[in-house]
């Protein structure tokens, strides 16, 4: 059976990517500076991560109540944009509600909001899976990692 290079990364490659690209200090991941970055994967179960001072906290939440607490004090919120696809059995209401709530919170708090297209790169998803638990939290962190790499010009 042929192997898929996008799905079958060697553990050593993932380790080196995390070590040299993400870990800039001994405390955890950090990127280009000291900004607090919140990643959000919107939906019925919303994945959230907060990367602050090289430390990543993550959760999967239902509803909108906790979003403001996760976002408050952030410098940047990186969130997956919603692209509805006709014919998919997906609840479109939940991601749209979350995106609307996050947009409002960011406007009220004066926080920069970055919307990214769905589908973070395979390597970002692999690294996120090694750092946090939960499918939605992993996707939220993958968006933060992707944004950080874009900021570094990678």
Q: What percent of the chain has pLDDT over 70?
A: 71
Tokens (6 digits) for 50:
């907060």
Q: pLDDT: is 148 or 109 the higher one? A: 109
Q: Does 71 have pLDDT greater than 50?
A: yes
Of residues 28 and 36, more confidently modeled:
36
What is the Cα 55 distance to its own chain's centre? 14
pLDDT at 103: 96
What's the pTM value of the predicted model, to 2 decimals?
0.75
45-52 and 55-62: which strand pairing? antiparallel
Question: In this structure, what are the phi and psi dihedrals at residue 99, rounded to the nearest 5 degrees?
Answer: -60, -45
Q: What does the mean pLDDT of the chain come to?
A: 78
CATH number attached to the domain at 11-151: 3.30.420
Q: Which residues make beta-bridge pairs with 120?
A: none
Domain residue extents for the chain: 11-151
């Amino acid at each position: 059976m042929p192997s898929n290079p996008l799905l079958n990364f060697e553990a050593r490659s993932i380790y080196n990517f995390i070590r040299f690209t993400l870990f800039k200090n001994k405390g955890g991941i950090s990127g280009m500076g000291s900004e607090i970055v919140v990643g959000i994967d919107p939906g019925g179960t919303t994945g959230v991560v907060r990367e602050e001072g090289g430390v990543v906290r993550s959760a999967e939440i239902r509803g909108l109540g906790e979003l403001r607490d996760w976002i408050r004090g952030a410098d940047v919120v990186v969130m997956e944009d919603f692209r509805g696809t006709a014919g998919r059995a997906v609840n479109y209401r939940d991601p749209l509600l979350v995106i609307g709530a996050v947009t409002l919170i960011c406007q009220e708090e004066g926080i920069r909001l970055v919307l990214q297209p769905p589908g973070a790169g395979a390597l970002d998803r692999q690294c996120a899976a090694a750092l946090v638990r939960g499918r939605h939290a992993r996707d939220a962190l993958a968006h933060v990692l992707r944004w950080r790499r874009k900021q570094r010009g990678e």
